[in-house]
Chain A
């Protein structure tokens, strides 16, 4: 069974770039038909889809974040990464990576909380 694990700094300074990595185990990131996503959840709030990447490098970003988001893939390490630029306190959230098939998320990481401090 595939497992996903997010990693990265839990504390970021405003205006800096948030960088997170998701490592996939128990399966290949090259599996046909599966897309690899970032989804976030503000404290006590609902879920916001950030975007996804296919192992070929094809991406789609949520237009609400598109100007600040970059998602990349490293197939040799079975990892995807998220970079979110010019962060503010409004970007405080739990960040999840998730695998989708036909645009439903059937596997999720445990999530990582990112907070901001000046």
Chain B
């Protein structure tokens, strides 16, 4: 199985701050990396697929980058509605695997 490791596990930032979350794969996965947002008590919601493709309807504050083993999710200007846990997921091979999550809250 491909192991996905996210950092940090949690972070606290101010409204308007730029926030960066990293995800590392245990082996190269090309650009087969996806990001999800999970608000408390809700199902995950797909934000970005194929490392950098923003899903329709997702705020342009979100962006993704990377390839191979190292990936980044950036929130350009943190807003209160961005409070959530963010997960990366590799779609390179089965079984599909997720990172452990990064919890984002407001300072």
Quick check: A46 and B100 within 8 Å, CB to CB? yes
> Chain A's interface: helix, strand, loop or mixed, by majority?
strand
Q: Is A89 an interface residue (CB 8 A)?
A: no
Quick check: A104 and B34 within 8 Å, CB to CB? yes
One of A10-18, A21-29, A75-83, A106-114 at the interface? A106-114
Chain A residues near B (Cβ < 8 Å): 37, 46-49, 51, 60, 62-64, 96, 98, 100, 102-106, 108-111
Chain B residues near A (Cβ < 8 Å): 1, 32, 34, 36, 42-46, 49-50, 55, 87, 89, 91, 94-101
Q: Which 9 A-B residue pairings sit nearest by Cβ, starting from the closest? A: A103-B91, A108-B43, A49-B96, A104-B34, A47-B98, A62-B95, A104-B49, A46-B100, A46-B101
> Could you list some 26 contacts between A and B, CB below 8 A?
A37-B96, A47-B44, A47-B87, A47-B89, A47-B98, A49-B95, A49-B98, A51-B95, A60-B95, A62-B95, A64-B95, A96-B43, A98-B43, A100-B96, A103-B94, A103-B96, A104-B34, A104-B46, A104-B50, A104-B91, A105-B36, A105-B44, A106-B49, A106-B55, A109-B43, A110-B42
